[in-house]
Amino acid sequence: MTAGLVPVPPPRPAFATVVLDVDSTLCDVEGIDWLARRRGRRTAREIARLTDRAMAGELALERVYGERLARIRPSAGEVAALAMVYRSQLAPGAAAAIAALREAGVALHLVSGGLREAILPVAAALGFGPESVHAVTVRFDGAGAYAGFDEASPLATQEGKPRVVRALGCAAPVLAVGDGATDLAMRSVADTFAAFTLFARREPVVRAADRELRSFAELLQLVLP
């Protein structure tokens, strides 16, 4: 170091905590819709329609969550296959952005209405411990057949995400990022909500958001200006 020069500390992050959605935000896939496509075109269309209406805020998620899974009845093998899809469909720049945020001391959480067992592998690859992954547990019997899901999970409901974030006791300020109406609900407990529109642009969500983000590069710029 040159004599007399005082080292300049790195800029302080604009947010202490970042909460990320997974489906159509961290990864370019809607997990339950992907599973539905394995049941034929008709089921795929009907399940996708229910998902779109819930994400647009036209239907409460709790009205369709169990119905979708009951119709699909995904096996353990199919959920494992979905886990591979999550890893292959990671958003461009997401891994580098998450690593930079973690290096800067930002607390990170994944909060998703997706299936926990499918999300855990991609989360682990990105450095998230199980305690930082919040999603809906699916159950299987001894033969790997579908045996239900955690019906008590708040993440299977329309207003569940703010309940989960509130319970985490996140350090403020908090940035919540997602694409759907269930993500927008986090605006009530976050200092800023950003609509992520790289994979899905839902106009009601964008209009109500504090910010719009089109990439993880933009997310990184927002948090580490």
For 98-126, how does the pLDDT look when each residue is reduced to its tens digit (9 = 90+)? Answer: 999 999 999 999 999 999 999 999 999 99
H-assigned helices in 25-113: 31-36, 41-55, 61-72, 76-88, 94-103
pLDDT, residue 4, reads 58
Name the pLDDT band for 3 (thresholds 50, 70, 90): low
Residues marked active site are found at: 21, 23
Phi, psi (deg, nearest 5) at residue 213: -120, 130
Phi, psi (deg, nearest 5) at residue 22: -110, -65
Given a cut of 90, is residue 148 above it in pLDDT? Answer: yes
pLDDT, residue 9, reads 61
Q: Which residue matches tokens 């979708």?
A: 68
Q: Can you tell me the mean pLDDT for 200-222?
A: 97
Name the pLDDT band for 196 (thresholds 50, 70, 90): very high
Domains, in order of start, for the chain:
17-223 (3.40.50.1000)
Is the pTM value of this prediction over 0.85? yes
pLDDT, residue 182, reads 95
pLDDT, residue 56, reads 87
Residue 16 identity (one-letter amino acid): A
Task: Note the Cα 157 to chain centre separation in Å.
Answer: 14
Phi, psi (deg, nearest 5) at residue 195: -80, 125
